[in-house]
Chain A
Amino acid sequence: MSPGPNPDYCEHFNALGEQLPGAGSTWVNNARRMALAQFDQQGFPSPRDEDWRYTNVSAIEKKRFKPLIPPGDAAADAGWLKRYRLNDAWSLVFVDGHFSARLSDVDDVPEGVTVQAMSAALANPPAAVEAEFGRVVGQTSHHGFVSFNTAFFTDGVLLHVPADTVLSRPVQIIHIASEPEAATNLRNLVILESGAQAALVETHLSMESAGSLAVSITEAVIRERAQLDGYLLHGASERAFRFGGFYVDVGTAGHFNHTNLSLGGLLVRNEIHVDLAESGQCALDGLFVGQGRRHVDSHTRVRHRGAHGTSRENYRGVLSDRSRGVFQGRIVVEPQAQKTDAQMNNRNLLLSDEAEIDTKPQLEIHADDVKCAHGVAVGQLDPESIFYLESRGVDPVSARNMLTFAFANTLVDGISLAGFRDIAQDALLALFPEAGIRKDWL
């Protein structure tokens, strides 16, 4: 039996819960209290749970992370931050789970649009927030990271776009973990009313050797014909722990596109769960890079709830050293979701004998008139390609590095948001310094 969570967490909550955002709201308090009770019961997920079979988080369970640390953004260096900041975006920067107005830029948000720190929004929560908070995640994920986050979140972003409004600039959330051994919780809520469009970029970073746990949960409600383009770059230090959940409810003819770049951390799990109503579409792209002893888990779930939906999934893994990658992709087609068109693909490059990949695509189809396909590949670099490069004068080590970079880069190259593509390419290049890839030649 699981020993239950670290009792310090509950004590902490009892001591500091009053200072958490939304403490003045009964429903927020209730949500937190219920989540805490649940977390106290279940603790962090166990490998006995089928969805967590390949990712053992007992290292997180055993650590005594500090769950509620006081605000302070002194450690975040604005110069360093520049490398990750989009040029033309509304940006909300959080340091150790707390909003930093000094580092953020939310000027000139159009009339009727809300782009706000959750801590500020919950001081006087709009009705839409009360109606939607916890709803989307509640229909799909109930494990300990979710309840931990609901109980302890210190901040996050509320993005609310009114009907038929197209945001002219992306919204960027930057989270920096700077305090060693801190457990930070961000909670974001995105509501796009019918026909609205927005791009949301999440950048999760840590300062060198932070060794902290960062939990981030985003719920997105995409109503009829609305479109959300989500981008995630996780580039934390090699000692960092992360759980990231992105839970999405796509309304009729709505679109959700997501790019998940998991490039850092020690033990990382990302969940992307999408519910699609009639004629809803989603495209989930992902790249995970394992180096050293990193464990990186990508868990996707697409549920087709209505007819004529389309889903595309394309995940790539690059695993070297003693790293381990997990891809669990599930597609569920409900009985009423006729004419569903779903495709899922996961390709992996295993660069060392000690690296490992567990890839598990699952199709659960309850309708008969559907088109569903999945493909999985695990392989090494192609000798023919290596020879081709050598025959052009490229030395074998550079050839291998070039091909490895190329395999990962095809995903980054396909990113439509140019500013983010540029940042992502830098982050990718930084992972393969010995590749000798010259960005100015790309």
Chain B
Amino acid sequence: MMLDIENLHARVEDKPILQGIDLQVSPGEVHAIMGPNGSGKSTLSHVLAGRSGYEVTSGTVTYRGQNLLDMAPEERAREGVFLAFQYPVEIPGVSNIYLLKAALNAQRKHRGESEVDAMDFLRLVKEKIRSLDLDEQFLYRGVNEGFSGGEKKRNEILQMAILEPRLCILDETDSGLDIDALKVVADGVNALRTAERSFILVTHYQRLLDYIKPDFVHVLAQGRIVKSGDASLALELEKKGYGWIEQEMAAVA
């Protein structure tokens, strides 16, 4: 199992946000998570990446046999968990290429490997950046500094492509992308798909799933996964919105 989330509850300050999440992700699978604003999708992504400020009150998260919640954020990253941020942070004064190199080498060191060769690295980065339709100049600009919304999202995918994580969590990477950029990002993700690598795609829009076909679609509402299905669930949601699920839930309650 890549990821096994059981009965996960988490809160921010005194506000319960995740209220019993259950989710199993096997290697090679793509899971889409949809759901209304404020339902807890980013919170789940952050808890998985190890951001502080969330208190896990109960439940477990097992990542490749290890207790993920016990690991520091940088350890999770080095072990192959990658979060593409909904709102990537701007860091003027550190160049994009510097961060890429620092991140890759931190991971390599963790695996007991030597630093990446400078020429190999440059070749790799240039190849990836071209495939994402970004100008090479972006490498030498501050991390996300002054990037447009779409450029930031593509930059997240660039980092992902360089780091080759095992578990990729994409928090609304499709939001704010024009149709061409969406295609580029989707191609970038598809290029990374292997039988071992898993994806969790948080999205509001069916159109991303036209390009990246999910194995499962889950609906997150009020901190719980209230419905799961295959790719057709996303089409249904697109047509009918979330209202009917909430009604179903109310009927059950």
Contacts and interface: CB of A to CB of B under 8 A. Distances in A.
A392 B89 contact: no
B52 A387 contact: yes
Interface in A370-419: 382-385, 387-396, 398-399, 402-403, 405-410, 413
B103 A394 contact: yes
Size category of the binding interface on chain B: 20 to 34
A422 B50 CA distance: 37
A441 B77 contact: no
Contacts of B107: 393
A392 B159 contact: yes
Contact of B73 (A384, A391, A402, A406): A391
B142 interface: yes
Interface residues of A, number: 29
B106 A406 contact: no
B91 A442 contact: no
Interface string A64-85: 0000000000000000000000
Interface string B70-95: 00111011100011010011011111
Interface in A83-142: none
Contacts of A410: 92-93, 142
Contact of B93 (A384, A413, A441): A413
Contacts of B163: 392-393
Given A391-B73, A392-B103, A442 B95 contact: yes
Contacts of B82: 391
B159 to A, nearest CB: 7
Nearest to B84: A391
Given A393-B110, A410-B93, A413-B93, A387 B101 contact: no
A188 B197 CA distance: 66
A392 B99 contact: yes
Nearest to A407: B93
A403 B50 CA distance: 19
B249 to A, nearest CB: 33
Nearest to B89: A388
Contacts of B49: 387, 391
Contacts of A399: 74
Given A392-B163, A393-B103, A410-B142, A387 B93 contact: no
Nearest to B78: A393
B51 interface: yes
A377 to B, nearest CB: 14
B89 A393 contact: no
A387 B92 contact: no
A409 B143 CA distance: 13
A408 B93 CA distance: 7
B91 A394 contact: no
Given A395-B74, A402-B102, A413-B93, A390 B85 contact: no
Contact of B98 (A383, A391, A408, A442): A442
B97 interface: yes
B72 A390 contact: yes
6 contacts: A393-B106, A405-B93, A406-B93, A409-B94, A413-B93, A441-B101
Interface of A: 382-385, 387-396, 398-399, 402-403, 405-410, 413, 438, 440-442
Given A391-B77, A392-B77, A393-B163, 8 more contacts: A390-B50, A390-B74, A392-B106, A395-B106, A405-B94, A409-B94, A438-B101, A441-B102
